[in-house]
């Protein structure tokens, strides 16, 4: 067993998800974004995502835009777990984030957290732990094999830095050029 300090760390940024079957710690930093941490304790596989907006069936999602939405990243995370041997009926979840980091803005964090809870309920996946809401960001550490999670509250300055990162647009990589130009 790898100790906390020796475990390999994998950082998840906005618009990403990771699925692992090895003893690592997945980390992320959240403001109004939400991270869903899912695992199958029998198969020994788990993962985490990090989404900016809830999204729904009516939301047009193309290219890099899709990675911003929870509806897209939740599907990718669940499908990734199933591909690595997880069974849907054994999945369990923990949800983090969803802070209201800017008092004058709408509470997208609350909407993100509510979306994650409803999505998991609709999928029949129990939420065994959560920490959402509040006014400050969080740093999350999640050990998918054991299901252990730890969070660290961020200070006001750290939260503002996180908010600035969350407000940056996410772009998909430009597709490779496959046309030929004749002179």
Per-residue pLDDT at 123: 96
pLDDT, one tens digit per residue, over 115-135 is: 999 999 999 999 999 999 998
Using CB atoms within 10 Å of the CB of residue 179, give its burial: 0 to 12 exposed, 13 to 18 middle, 19+ buried.
exposed
Q: Is the pLDDT of residue 30 over 70?
A: yes
- The kind and range of the H/E element at 132 are strand 127-132
Per-residue pLDDT at 69: 75
Model pTM? 0.78
pLDDT, one tens digit per residue, over 106-115 is: 788 999 999 9
Beta bridge partners of 26: 10, 142
Cβ within 8 Å of residue 82, ≥6 positions away: 88
Mean of pLDDT values over 154-183 = 50
Cβ within 8 Å of residue 6, ≥6 positions away: none
Q: Which of 23-32, 67-76, 89-98, 147-156 has the lowest mean pLDDT?
A: 67-76
Q: Is the pLDDT of residue 183 over 90?
A: no
pLDDT, one tens digit per residue, over 93-106 is: 999 999 987 766 67
Model confidence at 66, pLDDT cuts 50, 70, 90, reads low
Cβ within 8 Å of residue 164, ≥6 positions away: none
Beta strand pairing call for 8-11 and 24-30: parallel
pLDDT, one tens digit per residue, over 42-58 is: 999 999 999 988 775 45
Mean of pLDDT values over 64-76 = 78
The catalytic residues are: 33
* Domain 8-166, CATH: 3.30.1330.200
Q: Which among 5-9, 66-70, 133-137 has the top mean pLDDT? A: 133-137
């Amino acid at each position: 067993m790898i100790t906390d300090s020796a475990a390999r760390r994998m950082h998840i940024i906005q618009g990403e998800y990771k699925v692992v079957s090895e003893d690592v710690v997945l980390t992320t930093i959240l403001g109004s974004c939400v991270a869903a941490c899912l695992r199958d304790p029998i198969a020994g596989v788990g993962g985490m995502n990090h989404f900016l907006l809830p999204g729904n069936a009516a939301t047009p999602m193309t290219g890099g835009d899709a990675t911003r939405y929870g509806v897209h990243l939740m599907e990718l995370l669940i499908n990734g777990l199933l591909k690595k041997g997880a069974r849907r009926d054994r999945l369990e979840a923990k949800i983090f984030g969803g802070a209201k980091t800017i008092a004058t803005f709408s509470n997208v964090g609350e909407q993100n957290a509510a979306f994650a809870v409803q999505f998991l309920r609709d999928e029949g996946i129990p939420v065994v732990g959560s920490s959402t809401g509040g006014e400050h960001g969080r740093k999350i550490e999640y050990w998918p094999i054991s299901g252990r999670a730890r969070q660290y509250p961020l200070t006001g300055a750290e939260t503002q830095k996180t908010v600035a990162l969350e407000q940056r647009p996410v772009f998909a990589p430009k597709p490779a050029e496959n046309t030929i130009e004749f002179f």
